[in-house]
Amino acid sequence: MLDSRSVVSATRIANNAAARGVFFSPREDTPIAILNHAMRPVTLTEDRDSKESLLENILSAAQDNPSEMVSMSNHQEDLNELTDIISDRLLGEVGHLRNVVNPVIQKIKRLIEERRSELSANNPLNLSVYQVIVQPIYGQEQLRSQLANYSGRTTTEPERQRGIESRLLEDVSFENISEMLETPSAGFNGSLQMLLTDIAAGGELPIFKDTPLRGKEMYMQHGTVLTFLFLRALEAGKHPAYKMADLTTEERTYLVRLKAFYGRELEKLLNAIENDLSTWRFFLGVDYDNNTIYVNDVKYRRWLEEKKEQGASMEAVIGTFYRKDTAPDIDMLWDDPSIGVKAYERAEVLHGANVRSMTAKEVERLTEKELIAYFVDTIEEAAERQEKIVMVREYFKNAAGRLYANEDPVTYIAKAVCKLVGAGTDAYLMYTEMKTYLNEEENKDRSVKDAGAYAVVRLLMRWMACQVQKHQRENYRHLTQLVVGQARAE
């Protein structure tokens, strides 16, 4: 039994086709042929403009009439049976795409992304510039004045007494060190807070440790200044647990000598910082293991400002230091930073292309390997498994198995999986229909679920269209009136 909406739409399509001289008939032994045979013959009435003409005749022809023996079978029964068969096949296609093909696509995609991240991390240009701050406390006049007693004195390091040092640290933590070291000067205390915040990021208080006098460590390790301030605070009676009077004479003597030593060391440190800041050279070191170039923040910013017109930039710095095996020409950053920029740009082209090319090859290799692994894991029967493996190898030997520069890797993977894991199904057709649907601007708010439903309908209608043949007729012009009349009847 036919529904009138389908017949009205069908008549419109048939009329449109007839206006072009095209007519349809079912291919033999197809579901549509079965349904056509299950209907009584349709004849046109003489009155071409009648509403009843074609529409009513078709609806009537599909109705079962037991008194007539024209039909060899029941249209409604055939329709129900064919609906079940086609629905099952369609849902089978959807299930296979969802549950078998798609998980393989997703797995390969994930592996490719992981590999791409690795390659990107290995790109020599994958360096960052770390601007090392010069702690303001080193510029505090108050600190300088505290060192006046040690200026120019030759102070040797006393033999270290770790026992007393450890005891003094037992009750000191990030929670109480600030209170212990603070002075009446708000400016000094502000700088002290910045210093302690920086130190806290490192996780431990570097008291009784030394600050190197060169490189990034000179600005990043603060043992010398903190120890000096700590010993001063201890002497002033601000330690949370000990007064100087609680200590033995030997310990007191040791701590006084130690304070003098750190005072002298701190003076040397301040002088080294002052000297360093008086030059333009901002480079402090490079750590290739951590992909980091360290620069002095103050001098780097000054260089960026002063040499902006000549190309001073992060790219110029990376272009100068990215090659591990070549000594960098640091003076060039001052004389002509644009040379560093050009080196960066050349390396970007070279290594960018290498990464893409390697990725393309690896996408092919990984896809092939994963597809073989899939068949090995899922097929128990040896001969069948071998047949699938040969099929995979053949696919990747041919042009279809190559990933071209202008091709989207995800589409490439999906195609290979659909063609191989989804061999014998319409997986690839459905995948491309979904992708096309989701890429259209008008569908930008639609979901993957909507795209899936659309792909199912497209597949269904393709199957339907394959069941009929077209006939082109030359002498169709006399039907124009019929077509127009029929269209009006609708």
Partner 1 sequence: MNEQELANSAVTVSNMLCLARKVIDKVTPELDVVDKEELVSIAEAELNNELINRGE
52's CB contacts (< 8 A; 6+ apart) are 45
The answer to whether 225 touches 269, Cβ cutoff 8 Å, is yes
Residue 123 sits in the site that holds partner 1 (CB under 8 A): no
- DSSP 8-state class, residue 131: E
Between 76 and 310, CB nearer to partner 1: 76
Q: Does 470 bind partner 1 (CB under 8 A)?
A: yes
* Least distance in angstroms from the C-beta of 30 to partner 1: 10
Please give the Cα distance from 118 to 114 (Å, whole number).
Answer: 6
Residue at 421: amino acid letter: V
Binds partner 1 by CB under 8 A, chosen from 87, 126, 149, 357:
87
Give me the half-sphere count of Cα atoms (radius 13 Å) on the Cβ side of residue 122. 11
Q: Which C-beta is closer to partner 1: that of 10 or that of 389?
A: 10
Of residues 379 and 482, the one with the C-beta less far from partner 1: 482
Integer CA distances (angstroms), 191 to 135, 188, 240, 290, 319, in order: 7, 5, 22, 29, 35
* Helix or strand (DSSP H, E) at 343: helix 337-378
Closest CB 18 distance from partner 1, rounded Å: 5
Does residue 110 touch partner 1 according to CB under 8 A? no
- Is 2 one of the binding residues for partner 1 (CB under 8 A)? yes
479 binding partner 1? (CB under 8 A):
yes
By CB under 8 A, residue 443 contacts partner 1 = no
Q: Considering only CA atoms, which of 176, 186, 192 is closest in space to residue 228?
A: 192
Interface with partner 1, residue 5, by CB under 8 A: yes
In angstroms, what is the minimal distance from the CB of 325 to partner 1?
58
Q: Which of 73, 476, 484, 489 binds partner 1 (CB under 8 A)?
A: 476
Q: Which of 58, 143 has the CB closer to partner 1?
A: 58
355 binds partner 1 (CB under 8 A): no
Site size toward partner 1, by CB under 8 A: 67
Alpha carbons 126 and 120: distance in angstroms, whole number:
7
Phi-psi region of 21 (alpha: psi -120 to 50; beta: other; left: phi over 0): left
Question: In whole angstroms, how close is the CB of 84 to partner 1 at the nearest point?
Answer: 8
Residue closer to partner 1, measured from CB, 23 or 280: 23
Kindly state the smallest distance separating residue 65's Cβ from partner 1, in Å: 16
The footprint of partner 1 on residues 376-395 (CB under 8 A) is none
Q: Which of residues 6-65 bind partner 1 (CB under 8 A)?
A: 6-7, 9-11, 13-18, 20, 22-26, 31-32, 35-36, 39, 42-44, 54, 57-58, 61-62
Taking Cα atoms as reference points, which of 220, 232, 222 lies closest to residue 263? 232
Please tell me the distance from the alpha carbon of residue 421 to that of residue 424, in angstroms, as a whole number: 9
Nearest to 316 by CA among 345, 356, 351, 353: 345
Of 301 and 473, the one with the shorter C-beta distance to partner 1 is: 473
Map residues 447-466 to x or -, x wherever contact with partner 1 holds by CB under 8 A.
--xx-xxx-xxx-xxx-xx-
Instruction: Copy the structure tokens of residue 186.
Output: 């708000």
The residue among 11 and 227 lying less far from partner 1, judged by its C-beta, is: 11
Residue 73: CB atoms within 10 A of its CB come to: 14
DSSP 64-98: --TT----SS-HHHHHHHHHHHHHHHHHHHHHHII
- What gap in Å lies between CA 370 and CA 382, rounded to an integer? 18
At 469, give phi and psi (nearest 5°). -115, 150
Residue 422 backbone dihedrals phi, psi, to 5 degrees: -100, 25
Which CB, 244 or 468, lies closer to partner 1?
468
In whole angstroms, the minimum distance from the beta carbon of 62 to partner 1 comes to: 8
State the nearest-atom distance from the C-beta of 29 to partner 1, in Å.
Answer: 15
Question: Residue 46 in 3-state DSSP?
Answer: coil
In the complex, least distance from residue 347 CB atom to partner 1, rounded to whole angstroms: 51
Our CB check for partner 1 shows the closer of 314 and 460 to be 460
Interaction residues for partner 1, span 66-85 (CB under 8 A): 79-80, 82-84
Q: Where on the chain is the footprint of partner 1 (CB under 8 A)?
A: 2-3, 5-7, 9-11, 13-18, 20, 22-26, 31-32, 35-36, 39, 42-44, 54, 57-58, 61-62, 79-80, 82-84, 86-87, 90-91, 94, 449-450, 452-454, 456-458, 460-462, 464-465, 467-471, 473, 475-476, 479, 482-483
